[in-house]
Amino acid sequence: MQTVQDAAALRAVIRGWRSQGQTVGFVPTMGNLHAGHHSLIKLARDRADRVVASVFVNPTQFGPNEDFARYPRTLLQDQVGLAEQDCDLLFAPEVATMYPFGAAGSVSIHVPQLTETLEGAHRPGHFDGVATVVCKLFNLVQPDLAVFGQKDFQQLKVIERMVRDLSLPVKIMAAPTLRAEDGLALSSRNQYLSAEQRALASQIYATLQQVRDLIAKGHARTVAEQAATSKLLRAGFEPDYVAIRRAEDLSEPVEGEREGLVALIAARLGSTRLIDNLLFD
Ligand code: PAF
């Protein structure tokens, strides 16, 4: 697997593949790759002739009090894992390549409505940073398809909306969340957890399942959300939200609506913020 840092080198490799009529699948990441990321690479591998991954810890999607500085940077380890997954090319740009006018001077993409709720409400500006960097990466790589994990469900919806609204010529594919044996969704942030917190963290998935079961039994949405919030508080979490939404656009379902729903949770354990979701269908 080849690693390139600058845009010209990236484009040259991809131009060579294109001239042979090959299709390109793309997996954008912030590195510190684990089995969840590898499953995204595998999906791209199955659907395209060539696979490009990017590793870029994007400064514009972190808030001032978030973990940008301490976000784990493990490029050598990531390269080994990507090569094992048969990835063809790694794009690992510097900040100046992605933001030639600096982060503050950059064009910014704002996806309205979808970004004003849930994660967007708790992390102002986060999705502007995500949409902007993903749009830039799409312009650089120009893939036929790109794979995103369902673990970041709202992010997936924001990217789908951006692609549709800006008529970007890329197919977005969703990859199912990979979980540890106890149900905890795999995430780079899990490594911040102490042993005690790690044991508790599986409660998030258990709570999502409980929410789904309460709705299936006919309980009101607010009852299920409140029961789940209390359960998390009792277990020692600080929940930011427990929400049942329409999976299509994250809008609020009307009472009694049962089809096409998703439950989403964001909760802190100490200084670590975990998110997860569960589609009901
Ligand atoms: O999900 C992530 O790792 C990031 O938000 C992404 C999509 C690579 C953009 O920086």
pLDDT score of 67: 85
Query: CA 119 to CA 65: how far, in whole Å?
Result: 15
CA 74 to ligand 1 center in whole angstroms: 16
* Residue whose CA lies nearest to ligand 1 atom number 2: 29
- Ligand 1 site-directed mutation target among 32, 61, 99, 158, most atoms within 8 Å of CB: 61
- CB-ligand 1 contact for 58 (6 Å cutoff): yes
- For residue 130, give the ligand 1 atom closest to its CA: 9
How is domain 188-276 classified at the CATH fold level? Pantoate--beta-alanine Ligase; Chain: A,domain 2 (3.30.1300)
Query: CA 263 to CA 244: how far, in whole Å?
Result: 4
Q: Enumerate residue ranges in the chain where pLDDT < 50.
A: none
CA 68 to ligand 1 center in whole angstroms: 13
- Of 37, 38, 110, 219, which one is the catalytic site residue? 37
Strands (E), the chain: 2-4, 24-29, 50-55, 89-91, 145-149, 171-175, 238-246, 261-269, 272-279
CA 217 to ligand 1 center in whole angstroms: 36
Question: CA angle at residue 78 from 92 to 148, to 5 degrees?
Answer: 75
**Sequence spans of domains, the chain:** 2-175, 188-276
95-to-66, 98, 106, 196, 226 alpha-carbon distances in Å:
18, 5, 12, 36, 42
- CB-ligand 1 contact for 32 (6 Å cutoff): no
Burial 148-165 (b: 16+ CB within 10 A, else e): bbbbbbbbbbbbbbbbee
DSSP state at residue 185:
B
* Residue whose CA lies nearest to ligand 1 atom number 9: 130
**Known catalytic membership, residue 37:** yes
- Ligand 1 site-directed mutation target among 152, 162, 178, most atoms within 8 Å of CB: 152
From the options 3.30.300.30, 3.40.718.10, 3.40.50.620, 3.40.50.970, give the CATH code of 2-175: 3.40.50.620
- CB-ligand 1 contact for 135 (6 Å cutoff): no
